Copies of this chain bind each other. A is one copy, B any other.
Amino acid sequence: MGYSPTTKEILIDQLRAVFVARGYDGATLSNLARAANLSKASLYHHFPGGKPEMAAALVRHAIADLQRKAFQHLSGSQPPQQRVIAFIDGFFAYTDAGQSDCLLAVLNHHNTATGNTASQQQTITAQFDDWHATLASVFEEAGAKQKKAARQAHDLLAALYGALLMAKMHHQPQLFVGAVKRIRKRFKTL
């Protein structure tokens, strides 16, 4: 049987699209309300704290989503090489084959934005530190020493996010598809 998203999950996804496309400051309540087919007042019913609370909920949701779709695969019982590949494919799925940007990367940028609390940034940074450690431990399992494993983990994440960014700069989401294929090959033999 299929998965039925709750109405709140639908709402969150509609809001996420606006934040991803326009950034924190570019996402106005009018934009958000229009995307959700709601009035601004109704948005305040769902998120009494306004935009900061929306962003906080979206960040939590995005972290859970990326964890479930990609990093989850690093904790399986398969050999480490296979887990890394599964992670890469999961990340590919998370970005919708390069057509959707990562909300965490988008929201992380605005360091000093007005209502975008510093704690949000801290949450994102802490999560990425954690993810990096998880990925590095898999590379250690595969035989790499600690420092090398940390470097490999960093390079893999940079390659994925860099490919996503470059595809966006060239306005060719397809470039991400090819880039991920090459990243896959590069990390197939650790």
Contacts and interface: CB of A to CB of B under 8 A. Distances in A.
A25 B105 CA distance: 17
A113 interface: yes
A161 B132 CA distance: 18
A21 interface: yes
A21 B112 contact: yes
Which bracket fits the contact residues of A? 35 or more
Copies in the complex: 2
A144 interface: no
A26 B110 contact: yes
Contact of A105 (B101, B114, B165): B165
Contacts of A170: 125, 128-129, 132
Contact of A165 (B24, B25, B161, B179): B161
Interface of A: 21-26, 101, 104-106, 108-114, 124-125, 128-129, 132, 151, 154-155, 157-163, 165-166, 168-171, 175, 178-179, 182
- The A interface is mostly helix, strand or loop, or mixed, namely helix
Nearest to A104: B169
A179 B158 contact: yes
Given A161-B162, A162-B160, A175-B154, A168 B26 contact: no
A161 B166 contact: yes
A24 B109 CA distance: 12
B169 A165 contact: no
A125 B158 contact: no
Contacts of A132: 170
A169 B23 contact: no
